[in-house]
């Protein structure tokens, strides 16, 4: 049984889900927001915005959202002033924060129980969303009050399994690695990242290949989020 002060969670495919399409519905919503913010005399066709997105999409989880928006505008060849850039960035962020994803059925009860028992909670995510947008999104689905801190690759420039992304959160919350559990669905990102940082990983077995790949690490495996409570010693 673990004695912990902090439980860290992956975001996508652990607490929430997207539609698994490319581009995702939230991406289309954000790109449409950028497109609408461009002045009419310089506005390209929306398909041009989609093409610009495809050119730079591989970096969207590794640079700040405002730089990603600027990258799209640069690929479009738009020579626009600072105010218009700011409008495009604000529109992108607003569209991000208004997204309502599908939620794991256990997520709210698990997070609520952890908070009621005095544990801190954190999200560490490889995502193109800023931490501010993730918090707004969590508010949309009724989870924000149970999460103390959100750390994203877009904000930090680090992605899992790089220990630096975990350490940013640990330092902000004042918790040691050995006092922390990290829960996620990926062997390479979540389990290995947690082990490299000195956290205790728990693998949420969404895919059999993740379980097989991490079998030799000795990681604790759960098939549903609510099973985490048994590892920590709480009851839902």
Query: Sorting pLDDT into bands at 50, 70 and 90, what band is 21?
Result: low
Location of structure tokens 């918090």:
135
Query: Sorting pLDDT into bands at 50, 70 and 90, what band is 47?
Result: very high
CA angle, corner 206, sides to 201 and 209, nearest 5? Answer: 85
Whether residue 65 has pLDDT greater than 70:
yes
Closest by alpha carbon to 218, among 203, 233, 232?
Answer: 203
- Which residues contact residue 115 at a Cβ distance below 8 angstroms, ignoring those fewer than 6 apart? 121, 145, 146
Decide which of 81 and 41 is more confident.
41
The rounded mean pLDDT for the chain is 93
The whole-angstrom separation of Cα 104 and Cα 6 is: 20
Residues 2-6 have a mean pLDDT of 83
User: What is residue 169's predicted lDDT score, i.e. its pLDDT?
Assistant: 98
Query: Sorting pLDDT into bands at 50, 70 and 90, what band is 117?
Result: very high
Whether residue 212 has pLDDT greater than 60:
yes
User: What is residue 18's predicted lDDT score, i.e. its pLDDT?
Assistant: 83
pLDDT > 70: percent of the chain: 97
User: What is residue 20's predicted lDDT score, i.e. its pLDDT?
Assistant: 66
25's tokens: 């519905």
Q: 192 and 163 in contact (C-beta within 8 Å)?
A: no
The whole-angstrom separation of Cα 211 and Cα 196 is: 18
20, with CB counted inside 10 A (0-12, 13-18, 19+), is: exposed
| Beta-carbon count within 10 A of 141 CB | 16
The whole-angstrom separation of Cα 65 and Cα 71 is: 10
pTM of the model: 0.91
Whether residue 103 has pLDDT greater than 90:
yes
Whether residue 81 has pLDDT greater than 90:
no
Q: 49 and 88 in contact (C-beta within 8 Å)?
A: no
User: What is residue 195's predicted lDDT score, i.e. its pLDDT?
Assistant: 98
């Amino acid at each position: 049984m673990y004695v912990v002060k902090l439980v860290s969670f992956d975001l996508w495919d652990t607490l929430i889900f997207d539609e698994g399409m490319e581009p995702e519905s939230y991406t289309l919503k954000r790109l449409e927001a950028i497109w609408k913010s461009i002045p009419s005399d310089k506005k390209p066709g929306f398909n041009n915005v989609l093409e610009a997105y495809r050119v730079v999409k591989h970096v969207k989880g590794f640079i700040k959202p405002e730089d990603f928006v600027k990258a799209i505008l640069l690929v479009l060849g738009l020579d626009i002033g600072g105010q218009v850039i700011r409008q495009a960035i604000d529109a992108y962020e607003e569209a991000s924060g208004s997204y309502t994803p599908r939620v794991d059925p256990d997520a709210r009860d698990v997070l609520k129980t952890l908070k009621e028992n005095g544990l801190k909670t954190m999200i560490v995510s490889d995502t193109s969303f800023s931490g501010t947008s993730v918090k707004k999104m969590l508010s949309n689905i009724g989870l924000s009050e149970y999460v103390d801190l959100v750390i994203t690759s877009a904000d930090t420039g680090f992605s899992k399994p790089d220990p630096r992304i975990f350490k940013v959160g640990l330092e902000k919350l004042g918790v040691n690695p050995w006092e922390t559990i990290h829960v996620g669905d990926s062997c390479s990102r979540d389990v290995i990242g947690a082990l490299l940082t000195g956290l205790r990983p728990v693998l949420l077995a969404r895919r059999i290949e993740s379980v097989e790949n991490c079998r030799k690490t000795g990681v604790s495996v759960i098939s549903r989020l609510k099973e985490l409570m048994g590892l920590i010693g709480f009851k839902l």
